Amino acid sequence: MPYVDGYVLPISKKKVSAYRRVASQTAKLWRKHGALEYHENVGDDLKTGMGVPFTSRVKAKPGETVVFAWVTFKSRAHRDRVNKKVMKDPRMKEIMEMDLPFNSKRMAYGGFKEIV
């Protein structure tokens, strides 16, 4: 079964375009190094009547929305190999040194085994 890295983060609505540019660069890196899929999504319909809204979960502030994203791999071992290559890629180091359009300390992240 595939393995997925997923994350959710709050972002200023004014910085979504800047985030899209960074996400496009990182998507190319993950795919180049072997990720099967790479998806980045920005909140659109977040005022739902059920469960805990993503905005509440990530403690979004006024003027912020939420990014929900995931990267798919063949397995956890494959994920570990790909992520190691991505982190060693000089282009990723350049991205990490940029003034990113979000606060990584407010990002929720984890690895997931697919069950269905």
pLDDT in tens, 43-97: 999 988 888 889 998 999 999 999 999 999 999 999 999 999 999 999 999 998 8
**pLDDT (0 to 100) of residue 28:** 96
Number of domains in the chain: 1
Alpha helices in 3-89 (DSSP H): 16-32, 54-57, 76-88
Report the pLDDT averaged over residues 14-23. 96
Tell me the β-bridge partners of 3: 73, 113
Distance from C-alpha of 47 to C-alpha of 115, rounded to nearest angstrom? 28
Task: Provide the residue range defining the domain that includes 97.
Answer: 3-113
The answer to whether the beta carbons of residues 39 and 67 sit under 8 Å apart is no
Given a cut of 90, whether residue 1 has pLDDT beyond it is no
Distance from C-alpha of 98 to C-alpha of 116, rounded to nearest angstrom? 37
- Please report, for the domain that includes residue 89, its CATH number: 3.30.70.100
- Please, which pLDDT band fits residue 27 given cuts at 50, 70 and 90? very high
